[in-house]
Structure 1
Amino acid sequence: MRIDAHQHYWRIERGDYGWITPDLPVLYRDFSPQDLLPHLKQHQLDGSIAVQAAPTLAETDYLLSLADTDDSILGVVGWLDLHDPEHRSHYERFSRHPKFVGFRIMIQEMPDASSILEPSFLEALSAYAAEDVPIDLLVVSHQLPPLVRLLERVPHLRGVIDHLAKPRIAEGATAPWLSYMREIAAHPKLYCKLSGMVTEADHRHWKQADFTFYIRQILELFGPQRVMFGSDWPVCLLAASYDQTMSVLQQAIPDSWSEQERTLLFGENARTFYKLNDVSRKLKEGERL
């Protein structure tokens, strides 16, 4: 199965995408499954993982409603605030939907990333980790120190780092990003998405060579069984087309990688991480009810 493990949908009139403004005309419009479908077909992708783009429960409900009627949405990664005492009830409600495959923690948006080390947050995360819930981690490279400390305290977390933890590609910076990613990769249940790279480069003047080092370091650190392709469409359109985003990754893969390893990167790892076989089973059971 070939999968785009990270993309977004939104409808502007819903009003909970405060970061999408008329100053970003390429993004300031609605994006639906019908808009993505030609790209999925072009690259022989069976479907995608739709990831939340707004820190609201309502947006997760919106994505799940899209998944009800669109087979190309293989799973939905929703949003939870683990600082909210009611997070568990929201999680249980979302989990009743067969295509809900996990949630994302938006560390990037936290004024103080060290808040993820508060006892109540660690307790909540440890409980989800004990249940082996897939959790996306949206983090910026300068926020990696508290994340490393969190993983020391919740080492059994089934997590995936979105967008390579957003290294400063436009500046060509590699330190201390690389040393922190090495520590994170040492946790065997942590994955990394090769996504969101073009928007961390110079939007107008990037070149293939800007990305090769970062991609190959992640491939080496996490290995072929813990990496996933994600387009980050339509956010990627700020700097590159869907085709260019795919090409950036394909051109950087070492020639030594086998076809099987490429198959893992472009879908099978996402299927494993998000437990999509369980999704298929739940859907079939629902059909029989």
Structure 2
Amino acid sequence: MSDGRRCRGRARLMYVDSHVHFWALSRGDYGWLKPSNPVLYRDYLPEHLLPKLQERGVEGVIAVQAAPTEAEARFLLELSLRYPIVVGVSAGLDPFAATFAASIERLRESPAFKGVRLNGSDFLRAQADEEARSKLEEALRLMERARLTLDVLLRPDALAAVAERLSETPALRCVVNHLGCPGAGSGEPRDARWSEGMKRLAALPSVSAKLSGMLTLSERPEPLRPYVDELFDRFGSARLLFGSDWPVALQAGGYDDVVERFESLLPAGLGADELRLLRAGNARRIYGLGDGE
């Protein structure tokens, strides 16, 4: 790598990876994992990633749901007991289920339980149905009171709906996953809904965004640069996080490729304090890991 930003003292850099998945196929609740995808259709556990984390200076990872069940959340929390590198878990729960509040209370027994990930479709459903809206608002208020972090996986068509709901829970920390999935590698013109939605979300001080999933969003880094630059303009260095999206990223490259793409797309001229925030400090603060900067 010739870009100096890609090799700024590699061995000395420290990261918190805010977006990693682990799964064991025998658990049986990963409906989206299919044998037709041989890269992903196998077990991925912390021991498979740990050597690379140590090599790259990753001091902790947030394990993000790969199945929408409390059982999977408990599986991830058990991994956090066995592997200290798993410093937090973002669970997959149904905000419309009558069991949502009880699941939150049970999971909060573990200090590694840090939040819940929802889909953009949940917010679009709430936009179209009054009963669903009431249940989602109740779930978000519960998370706000519990000081949990909301991860959201969504596309441009749902950004505005998320911003509308989050405006009612201003203290709820929220992290938009994978740049808001702008479709940067599709060759399509930029979706105006992405820019407008990110503008509305960035106006909410408790909302941040992950620079994650960037290998699978685009084969090359150049199509991503305008989107990353806009996120820096709107959110600044204090509200953006590094995330690998491993092992999903293995469909396009290895863990080294993930880190190098992240580093290569950081704007020139960032100071040492900003780089520490982007690589680790923001994740510590937003997920309540302690020693937040």
> Scaled by the length of structure 2, what TM-score is found?
0.88
Task: Pick one of 9, 23, 36 that aligns with 1:10.
Answer: 23
| Residues in 1 aligned to 2:123 and 2:169: alpha-carbon distance in whole angstroms | 19
Alignment partner of 2:23: what SS?
A: coil
| Residues in 2 aligned to 1:131 and 1:95: alpha-carbon distance in whole angstroms | 9
Give the letter for the 1:274 counterpart: Y
Q: Which residue does the alignment assign to 1:282?
A: none
Q: What is the CA distance between 1:101 and its match in structure 2?
A: 1.0
CA contact (8 A) 1:211 1:248 kept: no
Q: Where does the alignment leave 5 or more consecutive residues of structure 1 unmatched?
A: 280-289
Q: Does 1:195 align with 2:212?
A: yes
| Residues in 2 aligned to 1:2 and 1:249: alpha-carbon distance in whole angstroms | 11
Task: Pick one of 63, 69, 72 that aligns with 2:82.
Answer: 69
Q: Which residue does the alignment assign to 2:58?
A: 45
CA contact (8 A) 1:166 1:197 kept: no
Q: How many residues end up aligned between the 2 structures?
A: 275
The aligned runs of 1:195-214 (5 Å cut-off) are 195-201=212-218, 206-214=219-227
CA contact (8 A) 1:107 1:113 kept: no
Q: Which residue does the alignment assign to 1:157?
A: 172
| Residues in 1 aligned to 2:90 and 2:147: alpha-carbon distance in whole angstroms | 15
The aligned runs of 1:15-94 (5 Å cut-off) are 15-94=28-107
Q: What is the CA distance between 1:110 and its match in structure 2?
A: 7.8
Greater alpha carbon shift after TM alignment, 112-121 vs 245-254: 112-121
| Residues in 1 aligned to 2:198 and 2:285: alpha-carbon distance in whole angstroms | 22
Q: What is the CA distance between 1:153 and its match in structure 2?
A: 2.8
CA contact (8 A) 1:191 1:227 kept: yes
Q: Which residue does the alignment assign to 1:285?
A: none
Q: CA RMSD in A?
A: 2.0
Task: Pick one of 114, 121, 142 that aligns with 2:127.
Answer: 114
Alignment partner of 1:160: what SS?
A: strand
Q: Does 1:126 align with 2:149?
A: no
CA contact (8 A) 2:93 2:116 kept: yes
CA contact (8 A) 1:26 1:237 kept: yes
CA separation of 1:11 and 1:181: change in aligned 2, threshold 3 A: same
Task: Pick one of 136, 146, 149 that aligns with 2:151.
Answer: 136
CA separation of 1:110 and 1:27: change in aligned 2, threshold 3 A: farther
CA separation of 1:21 and 1:139: change in aligned 2, threshold 3 A: same
| Residues in 2 aligned to 1:105 and 1:34: alpha-carbon distance in whole angstroms | 27
CA contact (8 A) 1:108 1:140 kept: no
Q: Does 1:169 align with 2:184?
A: yes
Greater alpha carbon shift after TM alignment, 161-170 vs 127-136: 127-136
| Residues in 1 aligned to 2:172 and 2:71: alpha-carbon distance in whole angstroms | 26
CA contact (8 A) 1:77 1:104 kept: yes
Q: What is the CA distance between 1:158 and its match in structure 2?
A: 1.2
| Residues in 2 aligned to 1:213 and 1:10: alpha-carbon distance in whole angstroms | 33
Greater alpha carbon shift after TM alignment, 4-13 vs 102-111: 102-111
Q: Where does the alignment leave 5 or more consecutive residues of structure 2 unmatched?
A: 1-13
| Residues in 1 aligned to 2:59 and 2:257: alpha-carbon distance in whole angstroms | 19
| Residues in 2 aligned to 1:44 and 1:269: alpha-carbon distance in whole angstroms | 16
Alignment partner of 1:46: what SS?
A: strand
Alignment partner of 1:277: what SS?
A: coil
Q: What is the CA distance between 1:111 and its match in structure 2?
A: 8.0
Greater alpha carbon shift after TM alignment, 112-121 vs 11-20: 112-121
Q: Which residue does the alignment assign to 1:287?
A: none
Cα deviation code 1:138-184 (max 9, x no counterpart): 11222222112212333332111111111111234432201210110
Give the letter for the 1:125 counterpart: L
Alignment partner of 1:181: what SS?
A: helix
